[in-house]
Amino acid sequence: MSEDAHRWLEQYPELGTGPISTEPYISSQWYEREKEKIFRKTWLCVGRADEIPKAGDYKVKKLAAADTSVILIRGKDGQIRAFHNACAHRGNTVVTETDEETFGGGKAAIVTCRFHGWVYDAEGRLKQVPSEKRFYDCFSKADNGLAPVHCDSWEGFIFVNVAAEPETSLLDYLGDYARHFAGYPFEALDYGFTYRTYLDCNWKVAHDAFAEAYHVDTIHAGSFPNVFSTGLQNVKLMGPHRSCAVCLTLGAKPTPIAAIANGLARASLVSRSAETMLPPSINPDKRGDFAFELSVLFPNTLIHVSEGIWFTHQFWPMAHNRTLWEGRYYVKAPKTCSERWATEHAMTLQRNAWLEDTATMEDTQRAMQSRAKLFQHLQDDEILIRHGAVIVDRFVNA
């Protein structure tokens, strides 16, 4: 056994070494407490500002774990505001949702309830009520605007908090996490791919499958054979959030096609590259085998950054045993046909790897639900999963 086999235990002994209970992954009662204590109280990342670039553009995001959906709308003043998607008249959704995310907009910067035609502006004010004179003296448009949701942004990411009064500001909530990634040029890498699917598993089962590299040699033997090291580096715990480095296996030879693609565009994680855009807190010791930073933004968002690449995973709870997974991958827009081909090749490999990851999740859930085994035994490099379990328990039992 190497001398650093328990290095993360030595660095973070407060997390303990014992097995982790499977009950939070399979209990509907526990899930209801997570909804109350986590998803209705913490800041949730719900999109990017560049998704609604013009005045009047809006996005509606369903938040099943908070029992609501939220309208994000950019006003004529350029500010993005958030509101519950609920009409003040009889509670119908103002914007009819066509999917988990619904987009729209117009120069007038208004939204109109299709049920009875009540009109609201981008600041949430009720502007027009058909047959208004038939309402009684107790009714006032000024008192019946859209219900606001706390909204803020960081590095182009939009966050909402559905609590009546958040316990902290967004920047205080992010804390060291915000400083760790400050300055990374997310907005400059805007050529993206998005995948989503529903999985019959708990949101933490899905989350945990992406929060370690122990599985790389087995699950990704087909897509990324002998490419990534299974040991994490530079693990950093930041309140409820966490981050680490995933590294390459130096000397591994790519396939002939991958080698050509890697030489044409920086769109794949499997090749070494210079570091011109990474903040100094990422790969601080300038490891030559650094591949990408893997981070968890509590509760349900993973943000990964590398030179010329960033991508996210989000795990939206739908029930105690059902999750919406959304994966997004961003690089620089290709300028030539060869760069486009190389980018498509890289994304195909990444898609295949994500399919390999998601293929384990429903099996994990079914096995856990059998209660044949009541605990998970984690090794030292599954530190992010252990930290996540501790943080979830801390919030739920607060």
At residue 98 the predicted structure's pLDDT band, cuts being 50, 70 and 90, is very high
CB atoms < 10 A from the CB of 392, how many? 21
Calculate the alpha carbon distances from 332 to 124, 196, 326, 329, 335 in Å: 36, 22, 20, 11, 9
Q: Is the pLDDT of residue 228 over 80?
A: yes
Q: How far apart are CA 288 and CA 52, in angstroms?
A: 38
Cα 54 from chain centroid? 24
pLDDT tens for each residue of 16-50: 999 999 999 999 999 999 999 999 999 999 999 99
Site of tokens 């599985």 = 215
Report yes or no: 317 and 31 within 8 Å, Cβ to Cβ: yes
CATH code for the part of the protein at 44-174: 2.102.10.10
Q: How far apart are CA 340 and CA 207, in angstroms?
A: 31
At residue 3 the predicted structure's pLDDT band, cuts being 50, 70 and 90, is low
3-state DSSP assignment of residue 172: helix
User: In the predicted model, what is the mean pLDDT of residues 184-209?
Assistant: 96
Q: Given this model, what pLDDT does residue 221 score? A: 82
pLDDT tens for each residue of 108-152: 999 999 999 999 999 999 999 999 999 999 999 999 999 999 999
Percentage, residues of the chain above pLDDT 70:
99
* DSSP code of residue 165: S
**To the nearest whole number, what is the mean pLDDT of the chain?**
94
* Boundaries of every domain in the chain: 7-22+176-396, 44-174
Q: DSSP letter string over 253-281?
A: PPPHHHHHHHHH-S--TTS----SSS-TT
At residue 2 the predicted structure's pLDDT band, cuts being 50, 70 and 90, is low
Contacts 24+ apart (CB under 8 A), 261-266: 261/341, 261/342, 261/345, 261/346, 262/342, 263/342, 264/338, 264/339, 264/341, 264/342, 265/331, 265/332, 265/334, 265/338, 265/339, 265/342, 265/343, 265/346, 266/307, 266/308, 266/309, 266/331, 266/332
Q: Given this model, what pLDDT does residue 19 score? A: 97
Report yes or no: 72 and 80 within 8 Å, Cβ to Cβ: yes
CATH code for the part of the protein at 7-22+176-396: 3.90.380.10
Percentage, residues of the chain above pLDDT 90:
86
At residue 1 the predicted structure's pLDDT band, cuts being 50, 70 and 90, is very low
pLDDT tens for each residue of 241-260: 999 999 988 777 778 888 89
Report yes or no: 300 and 241 within 8 Å, Cβ to Cβ: no
CB atoms < 10 A from the CB of 168, how many? 12
Go through 206-230 and write b for each residue having 16 or more CB atoms within 10 A of its CB, e for each that does not.
Answer: bbbbbbbbbebbebbeebbeebbbb
User: In the predicted model, what is the mean pLDDT of residues 318-347?
Assistant: 96
Q: Given this model, what pLDDT does residue 251 score? A: 75
Q: Given this model, what pLDDT does residue 216 score? A: 87
Query: What is the value of pTM for the model shown?
Result: 0.95
Q: Given this model, what pLDDT does residue 236 score? A: 97
